[in-house]
């Protein structure tokens, strides 16, 4: 059986006005895996990482920690590391 990825970015899109910074980006990270994000200046790396850490809000897509979609689920309904991450990082969800 395939293990659930510890982190997944699923179909992330983000625009700044007319500028498309991220268009339908999906990344999956397995436990113990090291992943490099490469791209030329303006490719959207910083924007994507800023979404992962809750600084920017994605226009669409999901951030999944241990298979749990931080941007959709209610953080109060689950305990453990995934819930702690989502609750602390994605504070804007609860506003």
Contact set with Mg ion (CB under 5 A): 45-46
User: Rounded to the nearest whole angstrom, what is the least distance from the CB of residue 12 to Mg ion in the complex?
Assistant: 15
81 binds, among ligand ADP, Mg ion, none (CB under 5 to 8 A by kind): none
Nearer to ligand ADP, 42 or 80 (CB): 42
Interface with ligand ADP, residue 61, by CB under 6 A: no
Select from 63, 81, 66 the least CA-distant residue to 93. 63
**29-38, long-range: CB < 8 A, 24+ apart:** 29/5, 30/3, 30/5, 30/6, 31/3, 31/5, 31/6
What is d(CA 38, CA 71) in angstroms, rounded to the nearest whole number? 25
Please state the closest distance from residue 58 (CB atom) to ligand ADP, in A.
13
CB of 9 to ligand ADP, least distance (A): 14
């Amino acid at each position: 059986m395939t293990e659930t990825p510890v982190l997944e970015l699923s179909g992330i899109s983000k625009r700044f006005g007319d500028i498309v910074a991220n268009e339908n980006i999906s990344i999956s990270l397995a436990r113990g895996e090291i992943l490099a994000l490469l791209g030329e200046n303006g490719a959207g790396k910083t924007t994507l990482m800023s979404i992962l850490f809750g600084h920017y809000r994605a226009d669409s897509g999901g951030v999944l920690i241990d298979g749990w979609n931080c941007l959709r689920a209610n953080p109060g309904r689950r305990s453990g590391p995934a819930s702690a991450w989502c609750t602390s990082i994605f504070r804007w969800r609860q506003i």
